[in-house]
Chain A
Amino acid sequence: MRTALVLSLAALLPGQALAANQVALNNSVFVERVSTDASGKQRVLLEEPKVVVPGDRLVFVLNYRNAGAQPADKFVITNPMPSAVRFADAGDTQSLVSVDGGKQWGLLSELTVAMADGTRRAAQPADVTHVRWAFQKPIPVGGTGKLMFRGVVK
């Protein structure tokens, strides 16, 4: 199993004051292992994704930092679900999700999925195609944060 971290700048638009404003984003993944101790209490361990087989629970962790010289506004982090991972939950990070490939966004409990017969049913975690966090306040200079969501290897 190899893990690779890639941090890249997408194409820059010319004529904008970008050089001094950088946001650092770091993406890592852990395997969540549950063990039960003698007293029946469950313990959760987070491990590097060394041995990963179908059915394993994954925790994706996103670290962000405003490394620029000015506050970052309208800060939106978007994470499409890898095709081989089924979304489980996003903890209490108040994420928005999309169940239609990123067209519509909302809380999972508010979204619906069209059925073959034309009716709509409530969206399930397995329907999630994208996860998004939209910050309402600017990220101050040097501000950092951590976001997470869980998934299961299909």
Chain B
Amino acid sequence: MTSMLNYMGLGMVACASIAATPAYANGTTAGTSITNTATVDYQVGGVAQGQQSASNSFVVDRRVNLLVEEVGNATTEVAPGQTSAVTTFQLTNSSNEILDFLLTASQITGGVATHGGTDTFNASNIRIYRDAATGTPGSYDVADVLVTYIDELATDTPIRLFVVADIPAGLPTGAVAGIQLRATALEGGTAGTQGAAVTQTAGANTAAKDTVFADGVGVNDANRDASHSDADDYTVKTATLTVTKSSRVVSDPFNGTTNPKLIPGATVEYCIAVANAAGGADATSVAINDSVPGQLAFVAGSIRLNGTVTGGTCNADGTTGGSYAAPVVSGTIATIAAGAARTLIFQALVN
């Protein structure tokens, strides 16, 4: 053979260096026929001869791949009794074909939740919503659509899903419920209809497009099973309030404010201190009610709210407020932060 070319045996081809396989998001649509055609032009005795060509074609198979990912990488803090607490996930169809996806939300029982903490309770009324383009895209709102499967999901277009559940009442701070969301690929092609399960082509290659599962391992699915899953969790954060009531004699008619004694006509100051345990949530709209004993006469305008406590002793501070409807003294403190204590103080005269 005389030519400028090196003879290339297949063995030599196989020895050539291989670059890393490029990552294609979705790639050529399954079922596409790839045809390669080469042509030869040549001359014999200086006369151009007819062009010859050779072709070769094959069909691109279907690679089923999907990704379920938790969004935010943080637990969802919830209050006991909260309804429609939201965890957020993202589903991506990384296949080379439009597919349906069945969704399954489940809860773990015991064990360590994905963001730490031991699973101790189950949420109720678990639903799955698909984020809608209307309303507030990216956040759970009334515009989002309750779903059990995703219809005709385009390739390489992540969609946001919300797993929404109700939290039981009476849970302590730190209680954890682990949530898992699994998506399973279903046949696409018919809009508005949940497709049948996809199956991997078993055995020999067929003339039609074949199916290859290429998905990875999730939190509750196996490698290459046309499913993928991820986990999130709810962590209860509540306010734990303790109330203490104390009193002191402020003055009496004879001693004034110097070493006053608890005699008729003396002024008594009551302090109701509400402490919120550290590590929990802020307590808001804390309403305090206290009945004035029958032997005492309430001093009008003496209620002070939102005072502070130092070393377990009420400081005689706060701002005037509250109300009195005989015999009950009432007042509302807007916010008691976790780890803080606030007071309601009022005065009464000894009959």
- Residues in chain A within 8 A of chain B (CB atoms): 1-13, 16-18, 21-29, 32, 34, 42, 44-46, 49-55, 57, 59-62, 64, 68, 70-80, 82, 84-85, 88-89, 91-94, 133, 135-140, 143-148, 152-154
Alpha-carbon separation in the docked complex, A93 to B6 (Å): 6
Docked-complex contact B8 and A5, CB < 8 angstroms: no
Docked-complex contact B5 and A53, CB < 8 angstroms: no
Alpha-carbon separation in the docked complex, A148 to B210 (Å): 27
Q: Does B3 have its Cβ within 8 Å of any Cβ on chain A?
A: yes
Alpha-carbon separation in the docked complex, A137 to B3 (Å): 5
Alpha-carbon separation in the docked complex, A68 to B14 (Å): 31
Contact-residue size bin, chain B (C-beta under 8 Å from the other chain): 35 or more
Docked-complex contact B1 and A10, CB < 8 angstroms: no
Q: Which residues of A contact B53 (CB under 8 A)?
A: 6, 8, 10, 25
Q: Which residues of A contact B3 (CB under 8 A)?
A: 75, 135-137, 139, 143, 145
Choose among B32, B40, B214 the residue with the greatest number of A CB atoms under 10 Å from its CB.
B40
A54 contact from B13, B26, B55, Cβ within 8 A: B26
- Which 10 residue pairs across A and B have the least CB separation, nearest first? A54-B27, A50-B205, A53-B63, A27-B54, A79-B38, A25-B54, A10-B51, A72-B42, A49-B58, A6-B55
Q: Does B132 have its Cβ within 8 Å of any Cβ on chain A?
A: no
Q: Which residues of A contact B47 (CB under 8 A)?
A: 16-17
Docked-complex contact A71 and B27, CB < 8 angstroms: no
Alpha-carbon separation in the docked complex, A54 to B4 (Å): 34
Q: Which residues of A contact B21 (CB under 8 A)?
A: 34, 55, 57, 152
Q: Does B10 have its Cβ within 8 Å of any Cβ on chain A?
A: yes
Q: Which residues of A contact B39 (CB under 8 A)?
A: 10, 25, 77-79
CB distance from B78 to the nearest CB of A (A): 42
Q: Which residues of A contact B48 (CB under 8 A)?
A: 13, 16, 74
A51 contact from B13, B15, B19, B61, Cβ within 8 A: B61
Contact digits for B1-39, partner A, Cβ 8 Å, 1 yes 0 no:
111111111101111101101111011100010111111
CB distance from A116 to the nearest CB of B (A): 23
Q: Does B342 have its Cβ within 8 Å of any Cβ on chain A?
A: no
Q: Which residues of A contact B201 (CB under 8 A)?
A: 51
Alpha-carbon separation in the docked complex, A62 to B56 (Å): 10
Q: Does B45 have its Cβ within 8 Å of any Cβ on chain A?
A: yes
Docked-complex contact A77 and B36, CB < 8 angstroms: no
Docked-complex contact A91 and B8, CB < 8 angstroms: yes
Docked-complex contact B212 and A53, CB < 8 angstroms: yes
Alpha-carbon separation in the docked complex, A60 to B32 (Å): 18
Q: Does B57 have its Cβ within 8 Å of any Cβ on chain A?
A: yes
Docked-complex contact B5 and A70, CB < 8 angstroms: no
Docked-complex contact B14 and A75, CB < 8 angstroms: no
CB distance from B131 to the nearest CB of A (A): 27
Docked-complex contact B24 and A55, CB < 8 angstroms: yes
Docked-complex contact A27 and B37, CB < 8 angstroms: yes
Known: A85-B34, A138-B2. A75 touches B40 (CB 8 A): yes
Alpha-carbon separation in the docked complex, A74 to B40 (Å): 10
Q: Please give me the residue from chain B that is nearest to A50 by CB atom.
A: B205
Q: Which residues of A contact B2 (CB under 8 A)?
A: 137-140, 143
Contact digits for B41-80, partner A, Cβ 8 Å, 1 yes 0 no:
1111111111111111111111100000000000000000
Q: Does B267 have its Cβ within 8 Å of any Cβ on chain A?
A: no
Docked-complex contact B36 and A82, CB < 8 angstroms: yes
Q: Which residues of B contact A3 (CB under 8 A)?
A: 56-58
